[in-house]
A and B are shown apart, each in its own frame.
Chain A
Amino acid sequence: MNEVIQTLMPWLILAAGILVTLLVSVIRVESKRPAQFSALATLILTGTSAIQTLALPGEAVFAGSIEISSLSRILLALFSLIGILFIMGGDRYLTKERIHLSDYYHLLLIMILGAGVMVAAKDLVVLFIALEVMSLPAYTLAGFRRSDSRSNEAAIKYFVLGGAVGAVFLLGAAFIFGATGSTQFPAIYAWSRQPATAGNLLFAAGHFLVLVAFLFKVAAAPFHFWKPDVYEGAPTPVTGVMSTLVAVASFVTLVRLVHLPALDTSGWESYLSAVKGTVRALAVISLLVGSLVIITQKNLKRLFAYSSISQSGYLMLGVLASLNPGQGISQVLVYLFGYVFAAVGLFVLLAQSEPRGDTGVELVDLTGLVKKSPLRTALWSVLLFSMAGMPFTVGFFTKYFIFLSSVGTGEAPLVILAALCAVVSAYAYLRPIGLMVMREADPGAAQWSGGFWSQFVVIVSVILVVFLGLMPNAMIQYLKGIPLIH
């Protein structure tokens, strides 16, 4: 039992921290500082504990339904980092919007716990519970700006969609259980290797449904319709958390679920080619939708929503590559890490604009920013360069890695399309920079004010983006060493 506790330590710290945060927020209702500090302390402890145990071997606990491995440890550390950065960077925004409540913090911690368990789950039931634990606080947080109808709309949309996702997932899991007689990943994997089971239709149907659920979650087109509205309505730091934490957890889970059966064994060839064809189609649609529609967007949050849809397209290329023999998922992980480091900074920057009543932050608010605040313009530019995949930012290497591994597996035409989409969407990322630098400030443009901690978070993000843009070798090397869990 002692060993189990030791293995689970980071997760246990986080769970205990949630309770502590909840308690301290009750002690002094009028102040949110105790909850804030408790949440920060919890995440710092969780992150350090996860990093300290990184080198330990993987271990399955709770009768094999959770496996604590280097993958889940590094992801939990990343999630803690995301949480810390958004707590520090979102403080001013919450006060400005008058929604600074203690509940915000323990809901955030619950989301992180859900995400952390989801990437460690090795059992469909545990996975479902973790998914719900991650999603329920997210619905609440999306509707945190109670007086704003768009925030309410976002919460309802997100909730209804999340409910549907849960239902689809459960149905798929039930089919899989019906076909294989187990909900545990290793048992399902072993089942699929038997010659007699190859190409089982019931399993294929279940697998398909399970994947569809997560395709909704990662908003790969054509499952993306909810995303722009939810992004626009949710409070900006919450949008940031959704775009980083939820996206990473969902995408990693999607990749693990794609590899749930042993698709490389004989008998599964036709199913494998069907999966590949579907992923290919999803990649094409996501890339086209994401990079064509993004050009027309004026609202920055909607712009980033479409940006994340096109990111799903690039990631689908990574998933496609991982379906070939001898290929890992490191290109997906590297892409996700690179994306997170830039996205955290971007959303915190976005939260620095002063509220303007009805409309959210629009492109026009950026006009003439270089005169008002040169530092902020420089920070915006670096992060947008990274999103566009410019050299010497981390965004260049992440795209490069995805393209390189895709070409290596014979997907050259798809890479040409993806590269053209990258060029098209580069316009959308570079236009804000043009507005900031070349245009005079529009009279209606919003004021920008950050405060120390918010600016600190953005600078941390920019330093990560530039440092990894110059020397990504260590990160890539480490993530390459992480095995795909079956």
Chain B
Amino acid sequence: METSSSLSFLLTIPLLAMVISWVIPKALQRLYAIFGSALILGLTVYETAGILFSATSEAAKVFFVDQRLEWVSELGMSVGFRLDGVSAWFLILSALTTLVAFSTRGSWYRKQPRLFVSMGFFLLFALNSAFLATDLITFYLSYEAVFIPMIFMVGVWGENQKASAVFRFFLMSFAGSILMLVAMFQIMSMHHAATGQWSSHLADIMKVVPNAPVESLLWPCVGFFLAFAIKVPLVPFHGWLKEVYVNAPMPGTIWMSAILSKLGVVGVIRFVIPLFPAVIKEYQGPLLAVSAVSVIYAALLAIRSSEGKTLLAYSSISHLGFVMLGLFSLSAEGSNAGVLLSVGHAVTSAMLFFLLHQVEERSGNVDLSTSKGLASNYPTLFSGLFIAVLASVSLPGTLNFGGEFLVLLNAYRASALCTILAATGVILGAVYMLRFFQKLGLGTPGSANHADVALKKDLSFADLLMVILLVGIVIYGGINPGIFMKG
């Protein structure tokens, strides 16, 4: 499993799953999607086990795989993938998120289910390819390929204002990736000017670009940073998020919040910080400030929102602000803490949205002002939701606690003020998440629109298994965060 075939295996198996989904009968699509993605998750863990469970980070390096293929050498295009301690985690997360997203029920399994399932597997392929890419052009193409299934998700199975949501999502993301592409061309040109060779591979670019004068690197850095800041998103660039999350179908929201946002995180880890160390160092203060503002501002927005999906969308921005705070502390530990928190955020937000979906299935909506007292009807469901809420507020003993704690610890060395500000976000997080749970679950049930609610059953066995899996990861990771810290 340490051979390079594991890389191509991890990339081709989602494509294979996509092709097979075209011949599966419509009625069996959901079953196929769940089993297929569970199998892929298992295989991904198996293939990356050497990296993940080695005792030390040095031992794990034995299992790193680096692969590079020449493609269009005249234009400096190659295909480059690297499986290492960071990408391994994100591969597992994307498979896990896909499994959770496929476990939902809804219109997407009634209207064109084949398209939904094949697009889901294609998304998994594009995500894996983006997480593994060590070549600028490979990364760009994969990053763009992620749009295609997402546009289908929102456009075909989206809710009320899907057209405007698609438009907004497309426009914002594309504006970002155009800037990134131009920035890539700029640094490729710098490499060409220095060596006379065109190349887009990080290994080549890294020999030239980080040592170039700071002023020539400013604009390329801005291009990359903006693309990822829109993707994550950081606060002044979050305008697209609410409308898209709310109008997307639930699996689309799960994918977006749990794993698409991590594309931005990986982009910063892999490209922005290594390529432009001097620029980032110079602007570290403002970058930390933007991250801290993201944490607080999004938390305040979450407190103000009266709809479950919107609240979770804003809480997602707030948590990712912590991740970025960790990355921009510019220390190895801070970066590791950011990865750990990313993993925690992906798992908890997948779990939260999945359980919110279950609530929505049963009560028809997740409006915080009208729903109440649902916990007494669905005790199992709300026990799961309670654990998810506690994980999301980073209770000690859950996965997020270790990540948030280490992020704040490392960020404090970089900027005490920003860290103190961001730390208030932890308290605000408790405020909105507990309020979220209280409004939905607690109180006396039974207004008029809940008359038929009691007829529906609590969590089914399969859904319960899914929740147990996620809770297990959250708690195991909370007790033993060390396994995430070897990147």
Which of A48-56, A157-165, A471-479 participates in binding chain B? A471-479
Do the beta carbons of A473 and B74 come within 8 Å of each other? yes
- Complex: chain B residue closest to A417, CB-CB: B178
Chain B residues numbered 185-224 whose CB sits less than 8 Å from any CB in chain A? 185-186, 188-189, 192-193, 198, 219
Do the beta carbons of A404 and B189 come within 8 Å of each other? yes
Chain A residues numbered 409-450 whose CB sits less than 8 Å from any CB in chain B? 412, 415-416, 419-420, 423
Do the beta carbons of A415 and B174 come within 8 Å of each other? no
Do the beta carbons of B188 and A404 come within 8 Å of each other? yes
* Separation of A423 and B198 alpha carbons in the complex (Å): 26
Do the beta carbons of A407 and B182 come within 8 Å of each other? yes
* Separation of A366 and B182 alpha carbons in the complex (Å): 35
B181: CB under 8 A from chain A?
Answer: yes
Do the beta carbons of B181 and A419 come within 8 Å of each other? yes
Do the beta carbons of B178 and A416 come within 8 Å of each other? yes
Do the beta carbons of B189 and A476 come within 8 Å of each other? no
Chain A residues numbered 448-486 whose CB sits less than 8 Å from any CB in chain B? 471-473, 476-477, 480
Do the beta carbons of B185 and A415 come within 8 Å of each other? yes
Q: Mark A240-265 against chain B: 1 for CB-CB distance below 8 A, else 0.
A: 00000000000000000000000000
B471 to chain A, nearest CB (A): 41
Decide: A408 near B192, CB < 8 A? Known: A400-B75, A473-B73, A476-B74: yes
Do the beta carbons of A397 and B182 come within 8 Å of each other? no
> Please, which residues of chain B bring their CB within 8 A of the CB of A400?
75
- Complex: chain A residue closest to B74, CB-CB: A476
B72: CB under 8 A from chain A?
Answer: yes
A324 to chain B, nearest CB (A): 12
> Please, which residues of chain A bring their CB within 8 A of the CB of B188?
404, 408
Say what secondary structure dominates the interface of chain A.
helix
Contact of A420 among B74, B141, B178, B185 (CB under 8 A): B178
> Please, which residues of chain B bring their CB within 8 A of the CB of A408?
185, 188-189, 192-193
* Separation of A404 and B192 alpha carbons in the complex (Å): 11
* Separation of A401 and B192 alpha carbons in the complex (Å): 14
> Please, which residues of chain B bring their CB within 8 A of the CB of A473?
71-74
* Separation of A408 and B216 alpha carbons in the complex (Å): 13
Do the beta carbons of A472 and B72 come within 8 Å of each other? yes
B7: CB under 8 A from chain A?
Answer: no
> Please, which residues of chain B bring their CB within 8 A of the CB of A397?
72, 75
Contact of A412 among B71, B182, B198 (CB under 8 A): B182
B86: CB under 8 A from chain A?
Answer: no
A66 to chain B, nearest CB (A): 30
A86: CB under 8 A from chain B?
Answer: no
Interface residues in B, total, Cβ within 8 A: 22
Do the beta carbons of A404 and B219 come within 8 Å of each other? no
B182 to chain A, nearest CB (A): 5
B336 to chain A, nearest CB (A): 34
Decide: A423 near B72, CB < 8 A? Known: A404-B185, A408-B189, A408-B192: no
A419 to chain B, nearest CB (A): 5
> Please, which residues of chain A bring their CB within 8 A of the CB of B189?
404, 407-408
- Complex: chain A residue closest to B73, CB-CB: A473
* Separation of A404 and B72 alpha carbons in the complex (Å): 13
Do the beta carbons of B72 and A391 come within 8 Å of each other? no
Do the beta carbons of A423 and B182 come within 8 Å of each other? no
A144: CB under 8 A from chain B?
Answer: no
B84 to chain A, nearest CB (A): 26
Q: Mark A389-401 against chain B: 1 for CB-CB distance below 8 A, else 0.
A: 0010000010011
B288: CB under 8 A from chain A?
Answer: no
Do the beta carbons of A415 and B75 come within 8 Å of each other? no
* Separation of A369 and B243 alpha carbons in the complex (Å): 35
* Separation of A408 and B186 alpha carbons in the complex (Å): 6
* Separation of A412 and B174 alpha carbons in the complex (Å): 17
> Please, which residues of chain B bring their CB within 8 A of the CB of A416?
178-179, 182
Do the beta carbons of A480 and B192 come within 8 Å of each other? no
A314 to chain B, nearest CB (A): 15
B148 to chain A, nearest CB (A): 10
- Complex: chain A residue closest to B190, CB-CB: A408
> Please, which residues of chain A bring their CB within 8 A of the CB of B174?
423
Chain A residues numbered 73-92 whose CB sits less than 8 Å from any CB in chain B? none
* Separation of A284 and B367 alpha carbons in the complex (Å): 49
* Separation of A471 and B185 alpha carbons in the complex (Å): 20
Contact of A407 among B72, B75, B185 (CB under 8 A): B185
B15 to chain A, nearest CB (A): 14
Decide: A412 near B178, CB < 8 A? Known: A401-B75, A477-B74: no
A253 to chain B, nearest CB (A): 25
Decide: A404 near B178, CB < 8 A? Known: A412-B186, A415-B185: no
Do the beta carbons of A480 and B74 come within 8 Å of each other? yes
Decide: A412 near B219, CB < 8 A? Known: A404-B188, A407-B182: yes
* Separation of A256 and B281 alpha carbons in the complex (Å): 47
B388 to chain A, nearest CB (A): 38
A403: CB under 8 A from chain B?
Answer: yes
- Complex: chain A residue closest to B71, CB-CB: A473
Do the beta carbons of B141 and A391 come within 8 Å of each other? yes
Do the beta carbons of A476 and B72 come within 8 Å of each other? yes
A420 to chain B, nearest CB (A): 6
> Please, which residues of chain B bring their CB within 8 A of the CB of A480?
74
* Separation of A473 and B188 alpha carbons in the complex (Å): 18
B116 to chain A, nearest CB (A): 16
Give the most central of A407, A416, A420: most B CB within 10 Å: A407
Do the beta carbons of A419 and B73 come within 8 Å of each other? no
> Please, which residues of chain A bring their CB within 8 A of the CB of B175?
420
Decide: A407 near B186, CB < 8 A? Known: A391-B141, A476-B75: yes
A412 to chain B, nearest CB (A): 5
- Complex: chain B residue closest to A414, CB-CB: B182
> Please, which residues of chain B bring their CB within 8 A of the CB of A403?
181-182, 185
> Please, which residues of chain A bring their CB within 8 A of the CB of B76?
404
> Please, which residues of chain A bring their CB within 8 A of the CB of B179?
416
B293 to chain A, nearest CB (A): 27
> Please, which residues of chain A bring their CB within 8 A of the CB of B144?
391
> Please, which residues of chain A bring their CB within 8 A of the CB of B141?
391
B200 to chain A, nearest CB (A): 10
Q: Mark B169-187 against chain A: 1 for CB-CB distance below 8 A, else 0.
A: 0000011001101100110
Query: Can you list 28 A-B pairs, Cβ within 8 angstroms, ordered by A?
Result: A391-B141, A397-B72, A401-B75, A403-B182, A403-B185, A404-B75, A404-B188, A404-B198, A407-B185, A407-B186, A408-B188, A408-B192, A412-B182, A412-B186, A415-B185, A416-B179, A416-B182, A419-B178, A419-B181, A419-B182, A420-B178, A472-B74, A472-B75, A473-B72, A473-B74, A476-B74, A476-B75, A480-B74
Residues on A close to B: CB < 8 A? 391, 397, 400-401, 403-404, 407-408, 412, 415-416, 419-420, 423, 471-473, 476-477, 480
* Interface contacts beyond A408-B189, A416-B182, A420-B178: sample of 14 additional A-B pairs, CB < 8 Å, sorted by A: A400-B75, A404-B76, A404-B185, A404-B188, A408-B185, A408-B192, A408-B193, A416-B179, A423-B174, A472-B75, A473-B72, A473-B74, A476-B74, A477-B74
The 9 A-B residue pairs with the shortest CB-CB distance in the complex, in nearest-first order: A407-B185, A408-B189, A476-B74, A419-B178, A473-B72, A477-B74, A404-B185, A412-B182, A415-B182
